[in-house]
Structure 1
Amino acid sequence: MSTFRRQEVDDWLRRVLPGRCLFCLADSEGGRPWCEACFAALPWNHTACPRCGEPQPGRARGRVCGRCLRRPPAFDRTRVALRYEDEVAALMQRFKFHASPRAGAVLVALLEAGCRLPPGEAPQALLAVPLHPHRARQRGFDQGRWLAERLSARLGIPLRRAWRHRDTPSQRGLDRRRRRGNLRGAFRVDGPLPERVVLLDDVMTTGATLDALARACRRAGAEEIEAWAVARTPLELS
């Protein structure tokens, strides 16, 4: 099915099925695109390393992982709402590869629901992980920028721009060390940045992309940096 046709189907479903859960088509409440049962059943990333967001099984749950103790990332904390599994993976693929606006809107709402900030801890700027312009033209849109614009409006966080000035090869199939090398010097951020900033990506795998962007942000003046993502790949897939 073409991207245009998928968008037509999304628009039609939104019109003819108001108040219905996106996942099971049961009744939803309060204008939300999900029902309470499906929302609770999503693969939430509650027990994760607070530094890198990697899901932590067993007794390690919620502690800083050994990898971050050995080599801390350039960002200080990670908030990742969900694990990249099941319905979340399907929703993300509809958004990234078929440009579904409804899937994107649901992902933004889930990110907001899973990354609630304590009072007084709002960041001063939000930066999306950018695609290289060549890659964005191939895909038809920059999904990180799309998410960031909507999250910025929902949370009232000013949006700042980062640039990817090297069209780096795909990260797929690379180990952590090669991912870091692949992204070295790939990003530019014009400063000065405020003290507290948040970096946003759609899916976080090893954190190498956010680490490279965080280093560029520190060079531009940021001092406290959080990494946010909609979903994190499970431990065995990172």
Structure 2
Amino acid sequence: MARTTADYLYTEPVKTLVRDFKYHASTRAGVLLVELMLTSPPDTAKAALMGVPMHPAKARERGFNQADWLARQLAKRLGLASFEGQCVKHLPAQHTLNRRARLENLRGAFVLPQSLPERLIIVDDVVTTGATGQELARQALGAGVRCVELWAPARTPPGRDW
């Protein structure tokens, strides 16, 4: 992974925005998160965006994939292409796992599109351990992508015990 852009700490009021968006499908909160992310985007030259894939059963349960929604909105605003991967493994909630368990849990969980650009920016809602981005980057680099970055509105505070 070349770089992670996540400018805000996952603390109030950003935490409330993320939760309202993620668990209550608040479009208002989603739009605000997009605006926050656009205040300092990563270098998007020759890049495309892809939201972190979500298993179809989880997407049906939640009503949408929040990372994919963010990626599509950002791509639209920035004039970039967006890609959609697949999650083929029904994963337990990542927030219940430590870094090692997350990495192990994510092995083989994703299938990426066959044709990807040279630069791929993976979009997520919160970066905790970076395990999800790391696994997606590993797969993207193995598929020929030359540079992978991770972009999220928030990251967990330093020193968090994971």
Superposition TM-score, scaled by structure 1 size: 0.65
Q: What's the C-alpha RMSD, in Å, of the aligned pairs?
A: 1.3
* 2:37 aligned with 1:115: no
Partner of 1:50: none
Q: Are 1:184 and 2:110 an aligned pair?
A: no
Q: Report what 1:31 is aligned to.
A: none
State whether residues 108 and 147 of structure 1, in contact with CA within 8 Å, keep that contact through their aligned partners in structure 2: yes
Aligned runs of 1:163-178 on 2, under 5 Å?
Answer: 163-178=86-101
Q: Distance in 2 between matches of 1:184 and 1:198?
A: 20
Write the distance in 2 (CA, Å) between the matches of 1:218 and 1:159. Answer: 17
Fraction of identical pairs, as percent: 45
The whole-number CA distance in structure 2 between the counterparts of 1:84 and 1:129 is: 18
The amino acid across from 2:22 in the alignment is K
Amino acid at match of 1:104: G
Aligned length: 161
Q: Deviations over 1:9-47 (max 9, x none)?
A: xxxxxxxxxxxxxxxxxxxxxxxxxxxxxxxxxxxxxxx
Give, in whole Å, the separation in 1 of the partners of 2:136 and 2:73: 20
Return the alpha-carbon distance in structure 1 between the equivalents of residues 157 and 41 of structure 2.
Answer: 18
Aligned to 2:4: 78
1:216 aligned onto 2:130: no
Question: 2: distance between equivalents of 1:200 and 1:93?
Answer: 16
- Residue ranges of structure 1 left out of the alignment (5+ in a row): 1-74
Match of 2:30 in 1: 104
Tell me which amino acid in the other structure corresponds to 2:98: D
Displacement after TM superposition at 1:81 (Å): 2.2
Relative to 1, partners in 2 of residues 1:116 and 1:219: Cα closer, same or farther, differing over 3 Å?
Answer: closer
Give the secondary-structure state (helix, strand or coil) at the position aligned to 1:227: strand
- 49, 74, 77: which one pairs with 1:126? 49
**Alpha-carbon contact 1:210-1:227 (below 8 Å) kept:** yes
Instruction: Determine if contact 1:192/1:221 at 8 Å carries over to the other structure.
Output: no
Listed as ranges, the matches of 1:1-238 within 5 Å are 75-115=1-41, 117=43, 122-237=45-160, 238=162
Displacement, 1:124? 2.1
Change (3 A) 1:179 1:116: closer
Q: Contact 2:20–2:26 (CA<8 Å) still a contact in 1? A: yes
Runs in 1 of length 4+ with deviation above 2 angstroms? 114-117
Q: Is the 8 A contact 1:80 1:114 kept in 2?
A: no
CA displacement at 1:223 relative to structure 2: 0.8
1:172 Cα offset (Å): 2.3
Partner residue, 1:41: none
Retained in 1: the 8 A contact 2:42–2:151?
no
Deviation at 1:235, TM superposition (A): 1.4
